Amino acid sequence: MAETLGRLRTALGDRGDYDAAAQCSRCGYCEQACPTYVATGREAQSPRGRAQIVRLMLEGKLDDPAAAEEALSTCLLCGACQTVCYAKVPVPDLALEGRRMLRGKPHWLVRRASRLLIEDPRRLAAFLKIGYFFKRLGLSWLSAPLLRLAGLPVLASMDEHVREAPRRLLDDELPALRAAGEGDAWLYFAPCGPRSLFPRVGAATWRALTALRGPGRFLDNACCGLLAHNYGELEDARTLARRNIERAEAAGEAEAVGDCSSCVAFLKTYPQMFLGDADAAWRERAERFAARVKDVVEVYGSCAAGLPAAASAGTVSYHDSCRALNGQGLRDEPRRAARAAAGGTFVEMPDADVCCGGAGAFAFTHEELSDEILRRKAGGAVSIGARTVLTSSTSCLIQLARGFRKYYPDATVLHLSEYVARALDGRRGA
């Protein structure tokens, strides 16, 4: 069994896994909020079912714990259940704890390789460039085994879904961006997605933040640790967290702004990884850090009144990243910004707040279920005739791009940063 957190930070206070799971009274009010339950109608793929399965595992009452694997691995971790739950039962965290209980320790060689890559963004960048080079040559079959060997099977399977293969990563763009002037108005936390897969998003965020808040600077952060937290080893996630906390502490007092809602939501939960008695000092530092972290959509929301409208290109809509909506409670902020930047062309799409089925590695590990969820999502965009759908996290960008390619080629997905930057660029140009 992999190491578990053991204690969770719940809406009702810090609780052991068992108490957190027992908080579910089985009322079932969460069911229709859960995309996998709606898709399958199976109790084991509902939040209530998952909470009960983890509880039974903790009680040692599940005859065959392996049977829990499907139920727990299919959880999108979208947290929509927690949003509707009165007791705020932390089902995503419980599902992760359950997965850790089921998971063995990885081979030391794999672990070492993945740590080397994740901990040093430059090494990862070099590695990815080789991979993207192969991909552009149509040689994905060469890069995938490399990624697997490096302990990144998630990225390897993701390869088949992703069309992006940028020549230059964000780190290559940064010198030019920084040259335009740096300041203390904000710290840019570059999540791995905008940094290594969608550098256009990272660059847009930088431009938009500069235009709205004045010059800031790059935090030169490490990976947030979400992948390690969800799929790897907790200790790796803690190592990354400590590094990021230290860098932020050394970089002054400014807000740390990130542009992948999944990562940002995770940064805000850093304290949960330090609930052990021995970790009290780090817990306090993590709490101070978490209080400084902002999702870039919050910044845009607070500046919405001053946002110009972008040049119109058909109906614009917004898809909630689960980790912005359910993870951080950001419903109105991104919409305010999207509405302002879209001028009169913004239309709310039905079920905008339902998970797209991307959910980190979910789309790659449970393709059929993810596809079912994705089809409904694309249907929502079709129903309002959306041409541009805005969102705020990397896995939504990947998943919606795939979904629109497949079910609704008329629409494009953009990060809210790209759209806001475009509107601001247009104003400067005018």
Q: What are phi and psi of 310, to 5 degrees?
A: -75, 160
Beta carbon nearer to other proteins, 49 or 151: 49
Beta carbon nearer to other proteins, 59 or 160: 59
Under rule CB under 8 A, residue 70 binds other proteins: yes
The one among 63, 253, 277, 368 contacting other proteins by CB under 8 A: 63
Beta carbon nearer to other proteins, 235 or 371: 371
The one among 31, 235, 371, 372 contacting other proteins by CB under 8 A: 31
DSSP states along 277-293: GGGHHHHHHHHHHHHHE
d(CA 261, CA 300): 13
d(CA 362, CA 73): 8
Instruction: State the nearest-atom distance from the C-beta of 91 to other proteins, in Å.
Output: 13
Beta carbon nearer to other proteins, 41 or 314: 41
Under rule CB under 8 A, residue 43 binds other proteins: yes
d(CA 288, CA 295): 16
Residue pair 337/300 in contact (Cβ under 8 Å)? The answer is yes
Under rule CB under 8 A, residue 184 binds other proteins: no
Radius of gyration of the chain (CA): 21
Could you give the C-alpha distances from 113 to 2, 86, 142, in angstroms and in order? 18, 43, 18
DSSP states along 297-344: HHHHHHTGGGPPPPPP-S-EEE---HHHHHHH--SHHHHHHHHHHHGG
Mark the segment that binds other proteins (CB under 8 A) among 63-71, 219-227, 268-276, 386-394: 63-71
Beta carbon nearer to other proteins, 71 or 307: 71
Q: What element of type H or E holds 313?
A: none
Q: Is 185 helix (H, G, I), strand (E, B) or coil?
A: coil
Closest CA relative to residue 360, chosen from 192, 233, 221, 245: 192
125 Rama sector, left if φ>0, alpha if ψ -120 to 50, beta otherwise: alpha
Residue pair 387/316 in contact (Cβ under 8 Å)? The answer is yes
One character per residue 87-106, x = contact with other proteins (rule: CB under 8 A): xx------------------
d(CA 225, CA 264): 11
Under rule CB under 8 A, residue 329 binds other proteins: no
Number of residues that bind other proteins (CB under 8 A): 35
The one among 8, 85, 275, 338 contacting other proteins by CB under 8 A: 85
Mark the segment that binds other proteins (CB under 8 A) among 27-35, 266-274, 296-304, 311-319: 27-35
The one among 1, 27, 130, 176 contacting other proteins by CB under 8 A: 27
The one among 1, 3, 41, 141 contacting other proteins by CB under 8 A: 41
Instruction: State the nearest-atom distance from the C-beta of 49 to other proteins, in Å.
Output: 4
> Residue 176 burial by CB count (10 A; 0-12/13-18/19+): exposed, middle or buried?
exposed
d(CA 217, CA 226): 23
* Tokens at 204, concatenated: 């847009």
Instruction: State the nearest-atom distance from the C-beta of 104 to other proteins, in Å.
Output: 19
Instruction: State the nearest-atom distance from the C-beta of 324 to other proteins, in Å.
Output: 20
Q: What are phi and psi of 18, to 5 degrees?
A: -65, -45
Mark the segment that binds other proteins (CB under 8 A) among 66-74, 123-131, 215-223, 275-283: 66-74
Mark the segment that binds other proteins (CB under 8 A) among 53-61, 132-140, 277-285, 365-373: 53-61
Instruction: State the nearest-atom distance from the C-beta of 65 to other proteins, in Å.
Output: 8
Beta carbon nearer to other proteins, 117 or 325: 325
Instruction: State the nearest-atom distance from the C-beta of 395 to other proteins, in Å.
Output: 26
Closest CA relative to residue 322, chosen from 351, 287, 349, 292: 351
Under rule CB under 8 A, residue 67 binds other proteins: yes
**Residues near other proteins (CB under 8 A):** 12, 22-32, 40-44, 46, 48-49, 52-53, 56, 61-64, 67-68, 70-71, 85-88
